[in-house]
Amino acid sequence: MADFISGFWNAYVMGLVGLSLLFCLFVLMSNNKRETGPVELHGHVWDENLAEYNNPLPRWWLYLFWITLIFAVVYLSMYPGFGNTKGVLGWSAVGQYETEMRQAEQRYAPIFAKFQGMEIPAVAADEEARGAGKRLFVTYCAQCHGADARGAKGFPNLSDKVWNWGGEPETIKTTITGGRQAMMPPFGPVLGPDGVKDVVNYVRSLSGLAHDSLRAQRGAELFQQNCVACHGPEAKGTQAMGAPNLTDSDWLYGSSEATITETVQLGRTNRMPGFGEFLGEAKVHLLASYVYSLSNQAVAK
């Protein structure tokens, strides 16, 4: 209402509301007669033989109308609704939201502050903190990582010991605060179809999967030339770049020949959004502690 550019629409709405109320009042008053003597038929007949007596409205029915009319007037004088008047109570949706937020802030601030001053493993060992962390996780993280934090294709499992960016308490916090951008470049154009096949067979050999050993041998050389800058000379990954360890049985995208071929040929880009600004440090601290507790069950005893 307050967003109207000119006062005209405001007056227009108030006029319409006022007129509607007056019209209701008029209709009520003019039908307010009590039963006096015998009633006549209306005079019109339809569906062959249906006719209607001209009885006055039942009293209780009429009173309901009066009540709604009075309710409208009382409501419009107390709450915003009549043009851009604010109503005598001064209530507003924004005001209510702000009051509730302030109350929540007051209630939770001391709890957050207490945990913010503690080391992450200590917070992870606190049951109340883990409960709060889990609620935050379900709200802000579950849509990508799953409510049980086990992830999905392209979204890492956070409940195991395998970390692409690092599982140290402070590293987890850095990930959540600033987000991460993973970039695996496409190698299809560089290696050609045969080269890709060779290197894929080498990658599969690293974790003991079925492979063509001749191709894997050729692939090892290609790997040294093209892949070690990120995945490391032993293919154990580089956490600073989010480049995964390729020698274990944990796969972000999948270990089948087709999936690895897709990864190597087309590359992968993946983003973990940053939450530092949106949630503030206190909540990120609780979230980092919760995530840390998932793969360090010993602290959660």
Close Cβ partners of 142 (under 8 Å, ≥ 6 residues apart) = none
CA 82 to chain centroid, in Å, comes to 35
Residue with Cβ nearer ligand HEC (36 or 249): 249
List binders of ligand HEC among 33-62 (CB under 6 A): none
Q: Does 131 bind ligand HEC (CB under 6 A)?
A: no
Tokens of 294: 């998932």
Q: Does 141 bind ligand HEC (CB under 6 A)?
A: yes
Residue with Cβ nearer ligand HEC (125 or 157): 157
Q: Does 294 bind ligand HEC (CB under 6 A)?
A: no
Tokens of 270: 């993946």
CA 205, CA 246: separation in Å to the nearest integer? Answer: 10
Long-range contacts formed by 234-239: CB under 8 A, 24+ apart: 235/203, 235/206, 237/164, 239/163, 239/164, 239/165, 239/166, 239/171
Nearest Cα residue to 263 out of 184, 198, 204: 184
Residue from the set 123, 169, 204, 242 that interacts with ligand HEC by CB under 6 A: 242
Other C-beta atoms closer than 10 Å to the C-beta of 199 total 26
Q: Does 129 bind ligand HEC (CB under 6 A)?
A: no
Residue from the set 182, 220, 294, 299 that interacts with ligand HEC by CB under 6 A: 182
Tokens of 249: 């049985």
Tokens of 271: 């983003």
Binding mask 184-213 for ligand HEC (x = CB under 6 A): xx-x-----------x---x----------
Residue with Cβ nearer ligand HEC (76 or 141): 141
How far apart are CB 133 and ligand HEC at their closest, in Å?
9
Applying CB under 6 A, the residues found at the interface with ligand HEC are 140-141, 143-145, 154-156, 158, 163-166, 172, 175-176, 180, 182-185, 187, 199, 203, 223, 226-227, 229-231, 241-244, 246, 251-253, 260, 263-264, 268, 270-273, 275, 287, 291
